[in-house]
């Protein structure tokens, strides 16, 4: 059974345990959600920013990509990690 995308992004961040960007999320979850209309950059960015807003993620640094677009790197917070009790979590290195 596939998790809802927003829940899967939180699970991804907890499992990863290290810094990540929106582009990392898109690349690493692409196979799982390929072909689903909700799996697009705009929607994932909205989820990503909502997790920052509720302090499940914290921004660790900012950079620019090859196109001059700003890239935000985040890490899951302890508060966000506490939500793992509601998720099927496996430790996985990306």
**Averaged pLDDT score across all residues of the chain:** 90
Tokens of 75: 């890490």
How does residue 89 score in pLDDT terms, banded at 50, 70 and 90? low
Distance CA 21, CA 80 (A): 16
Kindly report the pTM of this predicted structure.
Answer: 0.85
- What are the pLDDT digits (tens) for 45-84? 999 999 999 999 999 999 999 999 999 999 999 999 988 7
E strand or H helix at 74, and its extent? Answer: strand 70-76
| CATH classification number, 5-85, choose in 1.10.10.10, 3.40.50.10860, 1.10.760.10, 3.20.20.100 | 1.10.10.10
* 90: pLDDT strictly greater than 70: no
């Amino acid at each position: 059974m596939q998790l809802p995308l927003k829940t899967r992004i939180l699970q991804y961040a907890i499992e990863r345990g290290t810094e990540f960007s929106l582009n990392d999320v898109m690349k690493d979850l692409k196979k799982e959600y390929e072909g689903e209309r909700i799996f697009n950059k705009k929607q994932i960015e909205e989820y990503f920013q909502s997790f920052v807003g509720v302090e499940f993620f914290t921004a660790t640094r900012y950079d620019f990509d090859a196109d001059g677009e700003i890239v935000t790197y985040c890490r899951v917070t302890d508060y966000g990690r506490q939500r793992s009790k509601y998720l099927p979590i496996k430790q996985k290195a990306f």
